[in-house]
Amino acid sequence: MTTEERKPARRGAAVADRDEMTREGLPPAHRVICACTNMTFAQLEEAVGKVHSQSFDALLEETGAGKTCTACLLDLEYYFVDLKARAPRNADAGHVDATGETAAQRSWKYRVYGWLDSISPPVAWASPNHIPILAGKDIETWLTVTNHDLLFDERKSAPLTTTVEVRRADGSRLWRRRFRIPPGEELRVRVDEGIADQPGELAVGRATVVSRADHPAMRGTMRPQLEILAARGTCALHAQGDVGPGDTWFTMQNRPDDERLFLLLINTSGKGQSAEISYPHDAGTGDMQPEARTMLDLPAHGTGLHEVTLPPDAAAHVGALPFAVRARLQHPCRVYLVCATPALDRFSIDHR
Give the residue among 48, 43, 46 at the shortest CA–CA distance from 31: 43
- 147 pLDDT exceeds 90? no
The full set of domain ranges for the chain reads: 26-119, 129-238, 246-351
Distance between CA atoms of residues 156 and 239, nearest Å: 23
Distance between CA atoms of residues 15 and 332, nearest Å: 40
Give the residue among 236, 242, 233 at the shortest CA–CA distance from 224: 236
Q: Annotate 271-308 with b (16+ C-beta within 10 A) or e (fewer).
A: eebebebbbbeebeeeebebbeebebebbebbbbbbeb
pLDDT greater at residue 297 or residue 19? 297
Q: What is the pLDDT of residue 117?
A: 61
Give the bridge partners for 174, in sequence order.
none
**Do the domains 129-238 and 246-351 sit in the same CATH topology, yes or no?**
yes
φ, ψ at 6 (rounded to 5°): -80, -25
CATH of 246-351, one of 3.30.420, 3.10.310, 2.170.220, 2.60.290: 2.60.290
pLDDT greater at residue 243 or residue 34? 34
Render pLDDT for 32-55 as a digit per residue (tens, 0 to 9).
889 889 999 999 988 887 745 567
> Which pLDDT band holds residue 3 (cuts at 50, 70, 90)?
very low
CB neighbour list of residue 192: distance below 8 Å, 6 or more residues apart:
133, 134, 135, 139, 140, 141, 205
- 100 pLDDT exceeds 50? no
CB neighbour list of residue 181: distance below 8 Å, 6 or more residues apart:
145, 146, 147, 159, 160, 161, 162, 187, 211
pTM of the model: 0.68
CB neighbour list of residue 29: distance below 8 Å, 6 or more residues apart:
40, 41, 42, 45
* Least trusted range by pLDDT, from 10-14, 50-54, 150-154, 341-345: 10-14
Angle between helices 73-86 and 56-63 (to 10 degrees): 120
- 104 pLDDT exceeds 70? no
> Which pLDDT band holds residue 74 (cuts at 50, 70, 90)?
confident
CATH of 129-238, one of 2.60.290, 2.60.40, 1.10.3470, 2.40.350: 2.60.290
Mean pLDDT of 10-32: 55
Task: Name residue 346's amino acid.
Answer: R
Distance between CA atoms of residues 18 and 20, nearest Å: 5
Helices and strands (DSSP H and E) totals, the chain:
6, 18
Give the residue among 40, 46, 74 at the shortest CA–CA distance from 159: 74
DSSP class of residue 103 equals G
Render pLDDT for 166-220 as a digit per residue (tens, 0 to 9).
999 999 999 999 999 998 899 999 999 999 877 789 999 999 999 888 876 665 5
Distance between CA atoms of residues 306 and 298, nearest Å: 11
Render pLDDT for 275-316 as a digit per residue (tens, 0 to 9).
999 999 987 655 677 888 999 999 999 999 999 999 999 999
Q: What is the pLDDT of residue 98?
A: 41
CB neighbour list of residue 67: distance below 8 Å, 6 or more residues apart:
36, 60, 127, 241, 242
Q: What is the pLDDT of residue 25?
A: 67
Please list the helix, strand and coil fractions of the chain in percent, rounded to the nearest 5, in that order. Answer: 20, 35, 45
> Which pLDDT band holds residue 96 (cuts at 50, 70, 90)?
very low
Q: What is the pLDDT of residue 123?
A: 54
Q: Annotate 28-55 with b (16+ C-beta within 10 A) or e (fewer).
A: eeeeebbebbebbbebbbebbebbebbb
